[in-house]
Structure 1
Amino acid sequence: MTDLHLLWNDPSVPIVLRSTITSPFGRKVRIAAQALGLSGRIIRRDADTRDAADDLRCQNPLGKMPCLLIAGEAFYDSGVILELFDLLAGGARLLPGISQPLERSRALTRARLADGIAEAALLMVYEDRFREPSQRSEVWMGHQRGKIERALAAFEQAPPQTERIDIVNIGLGCALGYLDWRQPVEWRDTHPNLVAWLNQFSAAVPAFQQTESKAA
């Protein structure tokens, strides 16, 4: 048993997830934890990335969430945390193991593409939220919109499988959920395969609906 397992299985060791309920990347972590039976050990504590006094900036110098604290040691970002969860669950649950380097690299690449959709969407939302109208850049917004549209087109041609939960479909589900919620772009009318895929994923993975945020 590794030190990681020892820490995780020790009830005296605090395990804290710094994230809001609205973060698409925090949602990835919460879905994975539920799917792997790990959520019972995790206490979620809100984080405010705009607050200079929030100790998130001490835990993750980048001041970004999600950040997982195990006995006070910080692990970030969501991709790292999902790989950590995969190890805790025995390996090769969320992505292929190291014995399959090509398949593992393909899964990580697709997962990063899904994350890129959420990242670009967040930047579009922040542009509207944190800048005065006179400061907003349509060039910047178009740049982010292009990332989203190209990534959606790639997934529209080859949606992930839904037979088992993994690092790719968790990330894509959370990205599409964020697009539906914040609506930085309209995607449903032009991506019927992804609409059908998201319906299947939502039905197959109860944690997806359970982690859906209705917050403003």
Structure 2
Amino acid sequence: MMPLFFASTSAYVRKVMVCATVLGLADEIERLDSAAHPVVRDERIAAFNPLAKVPALRTESGICLYDSRVICEYLNARAQGDLFPQQGEARWQSLARQALGDGVIDAALLARYEFSTRPPEKQWPDWADAQLKKVAAALADIERQVSDFSHRPNDIGLIAIGCALGYLDFRFAELDWRASHPLTAAWFAVFDAHPAMVATRPHV
């Protein structure tokens, strides 16, 4: 078994679990409780990751891995999967899409933390707005690319983008991103119905 510090609300943990599910490794992961927080440090997680952030996984040989990018690549190698193209333009495109999806999650998290973590007298709305502008720009780029996307979670870049869109639904429903991104909305309706996505949907 591979212990993983887990949070059902984390888009990055979801990314790992989607990969694990697709690769047939989900039953080999032991989910450990965690309370990752940008201010209050969870020392349990720090035993695996000095940054005290999830996801953090320990391999059966005792190597501690973090963050989601490293863990996903490890799981793919362990299962001899093909979620990461090995060479050529396909590899760089996949990794760039992973960075795009992760970037949406990063920006959305920062916007959420501004209001959910900071005391009211220290909140800076312009900061949150700037993060959501990044989200909007990324969504526009996804809309431009989406006609080339597979409808199955068979590529790390698409898994990252799918988890990012799921996080927006979970934490930023008021953005109503589908209204201005109809092609992405149509793609995600099919992609998010895949069993690996259904099994990993965030919940409180």
**2:196 aligns to what?**
207
Shift of 1:164: 5.4
C-alpha distance in structure 2 between counterparts of 1:42 and 1:96, whole Å: 24
State the percentage of identical aligned residues: 38
Gaps of 5+ in 1: 1-13
**1:95 aligns to what?**
84
**1:77 aligns to what?**
67
CA RMSD of aligned residues (A): 1.6
Q: Which has the higher contact order (CA 8 A, sep 6+)?
A: 2
| Structure with greater Cα Rg | 1
**1:139 aligns to what?**
126
C-alpha distance in structure 2 between counterparts of 1:164 and 1:65, whole Å: 22
**2:29 aligns to what?**
42
Can you list the C-alpha shifts for 1:24-75, whole angstroms capped at 9, x where unaligned?
0000111111111011111111211234352212311111110111133211
CA gap of 1:163–1:178, structure 2 versus 1, over 3 A, is closer
Corresponding pairs, count: 198
Residue correspondence of structure 1 range 151-190 to structure 2 within 5 A = 151-159=138-146, 160-163=149-152, 165-183=154-172, 185-190=175-180
**2:48 aligns to what?**
59
Among residues 170, 181, 201, which one is paired with 1:191 in the alignment? 181
Divergent runs of 4+, >6 A: none
Cα contact 2:36–2:53 (8 A) shared by 1:
yes
Cα contact 2:36–2:42 (8 A) shared by 1:
no
C-alpha distance in structure 1 between counterparts of 2:31 and 2:152, whole Å: 29
C-alpha distance in structure 1 between counterparts of 2:171 and 2:88, whole Å: 36
SS state at 2:140 partner: helix
SS state at 2:192 partner: helix
Cα contact 2:112–2:128 (8 A) shared by 1:
no
For normalisation by structure 2, the TM-score amounts to 0.91
For normalisation by structure 1, the TM-score amounts to 0.86
Shift of 1:186: 3.1
CA gap of 1:95–1:53, structure 2 versus 1, over 3 A, is closer
C-alpha distance in structure 2 between counterparts of 1:107 and 1:132, whole Å: 39
